[in-house]
Amino acid sequence: MFIRSAATVVVVATVISSAAAQTTLLGVLEDVPGVYAGESDRHAVRVVFEKQDSEWRALPSACPDEHCLATVSSDYPREVVWNVVFDGRNLGQITARTPNGFKFYSWVGLQEIISKGPVPTVGQKSRQYAGYSDDRVYRPLVTNSQPYFTDPNSWRASKLSTEMAGLLRQQYRRRFPKLCKLGEDQATLQPFSYGDNQIEVTAAYTSNKSWTVARLHLEGAIECGDTEAGFETDDKWFVVDPKQSVSYLDEGMWLVDTGDYDDDGCSELVFSIDRENHGGYELFYNDFKKRATFEYSYH
């Protein structure tokens, strides 16, 4: 699968609850950084999406206060046996349980792993997976309450043709015609005139159905309405359909994994949100016509 170089894992799970026995849940096996000085990282499973009829929906994630943190766990499955999968393969099982309450906003949805034995990991620890933290942790690995993990659309990392890259750069300029950059005083903003050659394609993935998703980066670009001058815009993601029609997806995220997590014959895509003070996941499905978003704040 395309994520060999970026090593991603998905988890498929069985819910220990007769009422939810037929529910398809997706979660993410995370390596959670320690909170206090000297506290080590730990593995946990964050429950993020569930399939209801033909739609995916996100579990509640945006807690506004401590009362929500203390009570929202009742909306989550009590205990789940997760099958960890990666690159279309099942790597083993772990069991995780939802606590009675969540301690921090960034811990919403996190289950504690209660099974014995090693927890599957892929690759080496890196700061790029730690979100708002600067710790080195293992990359996230996705989860599912049913044994569905193949990738029938066979998404792979790809090198785009000159024509495709040009098409994406044109769409970037159409979507973001007015951007700013820091002035010489490093405190104010001024208009940023940029050319196509300044827009870099930093990642691209293509399916066997001729769909392509790509991440574009423009060095030094800042949203002109940014009241806190100095924060560059997050990288933008676009999707290109088989007819070469380009659409904007979102920004500030990276591709975690792809798979047919509901056994409908088509692959879904799971992205990790990595934005200023925000984390979470986005699930795209039905040929990018639909999405579900699980997003939380760190503070």
Instruction: Specify which residues 273 forms β-bridges with.
Output: 253, 280
pLDDT for 15: 52
Residue 199 scores a pLDDT above 80 = yes
Round to the nearest angstrom and report the end-to-end CA distance of the chain. Answer: 36
Please say if the pLDDT value at position 173 is more than 90: yes
pTM value?
0.91
What is the length of the chain? 299
pLDDT tens sequence across 59-71: 999 999 999 999 9
- Region 182-193: mean pLDDT is 88
Average pLDDT over the chain, rounded to whole?
90
pLDDT for the residue 2: 40
Closest by CA to 81, choosing from 125, 42, 25, is 25
Query: Please, which pLDDT band fits residue 38 given cuts at 50, 70 and 90?
Result: confident
Spatial separation of the C-alpha atoms in residues 205 and 192, rounded to whole Å:
29
The C-alpha atoms of residue 228 and residue 201 are separated, in whole angstroms, by 27
- Rounded Cα distance between 93 and 78, Å, is 17
Does residue 46 have a pLDDT over 60?
A: yes
Lowest mean pLDDT among 1-5, 22-26, 155-159, 208-212: 1-5
CA–CA separation, 70 and 100 (whole Å): 7
Cα radius of gyration (the chain): 20
Given a cut of 90, is residue 4 above it in pLDDT? no
Average pLDDT over residues 110-136: 92
What is the SS3 assignment for 2?
Answer: helix
Phi-psi region of 2 (alpha: psi -120 to 50; beta: other; left: phi over 0): alpha
Distance CA 294, CA 281 (A): 5
Query: Of the candidates 199, 240, 197, 193, which has an alpha carbon nearest to the alpha carbon of residue 216?
Result: 199
Question: Regarding predicted confidence, which is higher, 226 or 15?
Answer: 226
Mean pLDDT, residues 154-179:
96
- In DSSP terms, 90 is beta-bridged to 85
Q: Quote the percentage of the chain above a pLDDT of 70.
A: 91
For residue 84, pLDDT beyond 50: yes
